[in-house]
Homo-oligomer: A and B are copies of this chain.
Amino acid sequence: MTQPIAPEFIGKPQAEAVGAAPAAAAMPTPARIFQTFNAYQQTAAMQAAIELDVFTAIGDRQTTTEQIAERAGAAERGIRILCDYLTVMGFLTKNESHYGLAPDAAMFLDRRSPAYMGSAAHFLDAPEMLKAFDGLTAAVRKGGTVMGDEGTVGIENPIWVEFARSMAPMMMMPAEAISRMVEAGKGGKCRVLDIAAGHGLFGINIARHNPQAEIVALDWASVLEVAQENARKSGVESRYSTIAGSAFEVEFGAGYDLVLLTNFLHHFDPPTNEGLLRKVHAALAPGGRAVTLEFVPNDDRVTPPEAATFSMIMLGSTPHGDAYTFAELERMFSHAGFARSEHFRQPPLPESVIISYR
């Protein structure tokens, strides 16, 4: 008595029904709307599972509700409902009373994996961010964030220290991709300015591949502490120096071979970016390049999904930020004096790399 029946069979017990009418599936249904009304619970469930380290417990062969609950110090009822929910979402598997990790969860959510990125929830789901979206209707009306102090781009916003501490794992793959693209492994003299360095991973990765590379990291002083800590851990601290302050105010110096602009331009409007890019252009040595990591939607602005939906995060959390198309980015670089820009998508990663030549 557990198979679906078609509407025309309503009034007969389920056992008598012989399969659902395919037409039923094509009718408009409220299912996806209902799912969207409840989508916030997906975020809450993921946060709870990360906080209780459920994925690590399962990876460590604690696979029953009882075992996971004991490891997590949680109630069995709570764990059963949470793990069933994560199974429906595809992050866990379930076989009788045993849960297992789906491939994405095993790679990125088991704390014992080198690619663990559960900490990213601390930044992406920070209380300030969730709060910004409580006021989304007002943000749509206004056309920008209703968070005070310019949203996340306000001066010395402490969220960037959280960013630097928690987002590094999510940036390992793009950092490695950028090092390959600029052929850091070939070595040779290379002065790198890493703007809004955050965790510092992008510059540090180049320094690890190229023993002659010298990195100058720019960010708020509080954030640079995290970058310097990471530079020490990677053994590149002797080639790592810093400039503390706002990228819009401090002097960059000159003669850089590479300037890194990773996840930075999306916070600001085009004229602000063009002003910054003129400074970047002036700081580059002949033959130098700006390397930009960005969420880049296609010209239709609704594909690919990860890049297209990124605009929503900028609407909720910044006054004027956006996910820019390549044409828009190319225009900003061109207005700032760059000769040409090239666009590289990097599937399966959601972000693109833009290389702009002085």
Contact = CB atoms under 8 A, between A and B. Distances in A.
A287 interface: no
Contact of A28 (B28, B44, B104): B104
Nearest to A305: B88
A30 B117 contact: yes
Copies of this subunit = 2
A308 B41 CA distance: 13
B36 A326 contact: no
Nearest to A120: B37
A195 B72 CA distance: 39
Interface stretch (A233-241, A252-260, A312-320): A312-320
Interface string A51-85: 11000000000000000000011111111111011
A346 to B, nearest CB: 6
B33 A109 contact: yes
A186 to B, nearest CB: 11
Interface in A1-56: 1-7, 9-14, 20, 24-25, 27-48, 51-52
Bin the interface of chain A by size.
Answer: 35 or more
Contacts of A300: 94
Interface string A135-154: 01101111110000000000
A328 interface: no
A322 B129 CA distance: 30
Interface of A: 1-7, 9-14, 20, 24-25, 27-48, 51-52, 72-82, 84-85, 87-91, 94, 103-109, 117, 120-121, 124-125, 130, 133-134, 136-137, 139-144, 170, 177, 180-181, 183, 297-306, 308-309, 311-316, 322, 326, 342-350, 353
